[in-house]
Structure 1
Amino acid sequence: MNFIIRQEQENDYESTEKVIKIAFVSAEQSDQDEHNLVSRIRKSDVFIPELSLVAVDEDKNEILGHILLSKVLIGNDDNKKVRSLALAPVSVLPDYQNKGIGKSLIKRALEKAKELGFKSIIVLGHPEYYPKFGFKKASLWQIKAPFEVPEEALMAIELQEGSLDNVSGVIEYPSVFFE
């Protein structure tokens, strides 16, 4: 199977949202609202079009997967806020999972975020999966979620070595994450 990773276009939105909905239909940790989250993020000021990527089957011209990185802040008690990105969500159609599509989407998103000058990314996800890409427990930097989550599920990655060295505090997700 041949697929390419490219930036999502506006005319992809409907197909992308269907992919996201199908990908999360049987996910244990899902509220079945990820497709609406993506839609809300796209309409907000935390959306970065270059960091909304799709995997497309070259033969069928069909979207097989999607990843989105959007802006968040990490704040501490001194009111010092640091820009970061949240990886949420990454989705692949069930029939195409475990074929390298998710891996390719994540790798390309990390590369693109680095190219755009971002220094770190936060993810709330499977603790067995994301460390393959360099993610580590966010607690290593005293970074916390604004809600209760298992420590091992909240992870971060430095896109620039040492970029999280003096960063700590609570992740400030934009309001679109909670609507």
Structure 2
Amino acid sequence: MKLESYGRFDRQAIEALYTHTFSNSEGQSEGARIGALVHEILERVPSESLLGFVATEHEEILGCILFTRLSFDSPANAFMLSPVAVSPDYQGTGVGQELINQGIRHLEELGVELVLTYGDPNYYSKVGFQQISQQVVRAPFELSHPEGWLAQPLNGGRLDLPLGNVRCVEPFNDARYW
């Protein structure tokens, strides 16, 4: 398996991966919604606020992760990991964890202090994420599953200092994703 930046890959192939993956696990409408979100992220988020990594084998895309910049009331260098997609044929093989670990190593090299995500605590705890209090980082919208608000400090970053309200890139400014 090869891990590399998403940049050289066809955006439509990446969007198709997300649409297929989420349609398979959560239904056609959710797949279409996440595919549209990924389209908006790839089209509208400036390159300095977007990092992405793709796992391939024989030029076939097995998985993809995207990180987008976050900003706070107080200074912090932070990104959000979301969304993550691994082809249904490769789920459970470690592709997602490898992508996440590669992405986090890259963020550390860039001096990022904090990575947040909103997802399954059982899955993300395997790669170092832990639940975070809304008193430390208030999500941009009310969370339908507050236990899924997760963070991982990097480069000496801390989770005990209140950072206040978080602001995400424009495609995530929609309560449906929270």
Q: Same fold by TM-score, threshold 0.5 exceeded?
A: yes
Residue 41 of structure 1 pairs with residue 38 of structure 2: no
**Structure 2 match to 1:157:** 152
CA RMSD of aligned residues (A): 2.3
Contact 2:76–2:113 (8 Å) recurs in 1: no
CA deviations on 1:52-72 (whole Å, 9 max, x unpaired) are 110001xx3111110000101
Deviation at 1:95, TM superposition (A): 0.8
1:97 aligns with one of 91, 95, 106: 91
**Structure 2 match to 1:53:** 53
Instruction: Flag structure 1 segments of 5+ consecutive residues without an equivalent.
Output: none
Residue 147 of structure 1 pairs with residue 141 of structure 2: yes
**Structure 2 match to 1:117:** 111
**Structure 1 match to 2:72:** 74
CA distance in 1, matches of 2:104, 2:157: 16
Structure (1 or 2) with the greater helix fraction: 2
**Structure 2 match to 1:168:** 163
1:4 aligns with one of 2, 13, 22: 2
CA distance in 2, matches of 1:11, 1:97: 21
Counting only pairs closer than 5 Å after superposition, residues 23-42 of structure 1 correspond to structure 2 as: 23-28=21-26, 31-32=30-31, 33-42=33-42
Contact 1:125–1:153 (8 Å) recurs in 2: yes
CA distance in 1, matches of 2:9, 2:78: 28
Give the number of equivalent residue pairs: 171
CA distance in 1, matches of 2:35, 2:18: 5
Provide the secondary structure at the position in 1 that maps to 2:54.
strand
Identity in percent: 30
Provide the secondary structure at the position in 1 that maps to 2:122.
coil
Residue 17 of structure 1 pairs with residue 15 of structure 2: yes
TM-score (norm 2): 0.84
Deviation at 1:137, TM superposition (A): 1.0
Q: In 2 relative to 1, CA 118–162 (structure 1 residues): closer, same or farther, beyond 3 Å?
A: closer
Contact 1:82–1:167 (8 Å) recurs in 2: no
CA deviations on 1:91-125 (whole Å, 9 max, x unpaired) are 00101100110010000000011111111111000
Greater alpha carbon shift after TM alignment, 12-21 vs 105-114: 12-21
Contact 1:8–1:49 (8 Å) recurs in 2: no
CA deviations on 1:1-20 (whole Å, 9 max, x unpaired) are xx111111244211111111
CA distance in 2, matches of 1:157, 1:128: 14
